């Protein structure tokens, strides 16, 4: 039976890396953040470059022409050898809509939710000069829990520190065959779209010199640091945070409540205290639709989101 695996997660959560790890199989296929192909909202979304590195590849033109409702079926038809697709678009509204469409088409769906501990996420945001890390973390996961009922939680720390074990567990839960060295996602030529450059830069190799990323970072920068085509995790991230950020993390009751829920320390009934109420959910839907509409018009010229 054909399957689609949706990966949820906030920005800088490791979703792009998890996507390509899972798809690193003869019967797997990564579409990356394909939502942006149909609903572009940043300049590079309007000129998509296929992750395979071949400038002549017209796969995404075919997929776009076939339409959003048949996008997964189009890929299955183009690649008859694959049995599952991984979509790391992340947007809960996109995941919710596509899940309904796929269930109507008789395609099995699995939901994975990757998350960083608040301290790890704060570090990822603060080092990029973004001070709204707490609001971003809580808003994303509250929305996800409001829309997606059943999911497999994937701690980023586990994926980074014990990738083979983590991927093996996911494969077992999703009925996928596990292959050795699956975590070495750079060993496969992916067609994946968009996603985080820090993960995709590992696709660069002597065999794939044409691989393009949206940023100006060069592959040799990671190579010099010894992190190119390797998985890196810093166990001392929390210690490196500014004192005010550390205090903010420990003092925020809702943040700790959500953290406990993800780690399994709290019963599922705690979910009701986290999710959005109907008014908040409808307001979020309106804001999301407005942002996408603005992206379709102004996103070609400016980075709005």
Q: What is the pLDDT of residues 240-263, one digit of tens each?
A: 888 888 888 889 988 888 888 887
> Would 93 be classed as within a structural domain?
yes
Query: Residue 223: pLDDT band by 50, 70, 90 thresholds?
Result: very low
191 contacts 51 by C-beta, under 8 angstroms: yes
Domain with residue 55: its CATH number is 3.40.50.300
> Would 102 be classed as within a structural domain?
yes
Question: What span, in angstroms and rounded, lies between the C-alpha atoms of 56 and 53?
Answer: 9
> Would 159 be classed as within a structural domain?
yes
What is the pLDDT of the chain when averaged over all its residues? 85
The pLDDT score that the predictor gives to residue 183 is: 87
Q: What is the span of the domain harbouring residue 127?
A: 3-298
> Would 105 be classed as within a structural domain?
yes
Q: Which residue has the higher pLDDT, 25 or 130?
A: 25
Buried b (16+ CB within 10 A) or exposed e, 234-268: eeebbeebeeebeebbeeeeebeebbebbeeebee
**Structural domains of the chain, count:** 1
> Would 245 be classed as within a structural domain?
yes
Q: What is the pLDDT of residues 101-112, one digit of tens each?
A: 999 999 999 999
Q: What is the pLDDT of residues 85-103, one digit of tens each?
A: 999 999 999 999 999 999 9
The pLDDT score that the predictor gives to residue 169 is: 96
The pLDDT score that the predictor gives to residue 12 is: 87
> Would 220 be classed as within a structural domain?
yes
> Would 305 be classed as within a structural domain?
no
> Would 9 be classed as within a structural domain?
yes
What is the pTM assigned to this prediction? Answer: 0.88
Average pLDDT over residues 5-24: 93
């Amino acid at each position: 039976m054909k399957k689609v695996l949706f990966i949820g997660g906030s920005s800088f959560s490791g979703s792009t890396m998890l996507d390509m790890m899972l798809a690193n199989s003869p019967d797997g296929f990564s579409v990356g953040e394909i939502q942006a192909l149909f609903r572009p909202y940043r300049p590079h979304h309007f000129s998509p470059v296929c992750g395979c590195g071949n400038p002549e590849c017209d796969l995404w033109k075919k997929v776009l022409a076939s339409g959003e409702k048949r996008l997964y079926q189009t890929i299955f038809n183009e690649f008859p050898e694959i049995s599952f697709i991984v979509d790391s678009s992340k947007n809960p509204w996109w995941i919710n809509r596509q899940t309904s469409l796929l269930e109507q088409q008789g395609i099995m769906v699995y939901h994975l939710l990757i998350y960083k501990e608040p301290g790890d996420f704060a570090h990822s945001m603060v080092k990029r000069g973004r001070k709204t890390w707490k609001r971003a973390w809580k808003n994303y996961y509250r929305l996800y829990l409001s829309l997606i009922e059943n999911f497999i939680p994937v701690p980023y720390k586990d994926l980074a520190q014990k990738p083979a074990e983590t991927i093996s567990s996911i494969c077992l839960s999703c009925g996928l065959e596990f292959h050795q060295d699956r975590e070495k996602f750079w060993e496969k030529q992916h067609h994946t779209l968009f996603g985080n450059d820090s993960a995709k830069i590992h696709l660069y190799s002597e065999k794939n010199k044409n691989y393009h990323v949206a940023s100006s970072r060069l592959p040799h920068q990671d190579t010099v640091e010894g992190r190119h085509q390797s998985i890196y995790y810093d166990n001392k991230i929390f210690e490196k945070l500014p004192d005010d950020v550390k205090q903010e993390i420990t003092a925020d009751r809702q943040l700790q409540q959500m953290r406990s829920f993800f780690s399994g320390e709290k019963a599922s009934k705690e979910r009701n205290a986290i999710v959005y109420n109907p008014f908040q959910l409808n307001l979020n839907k309106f804001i999301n639709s407005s942002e996408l509409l603005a992206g379709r018009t102004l996103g070609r010229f400016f980075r709005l989101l």
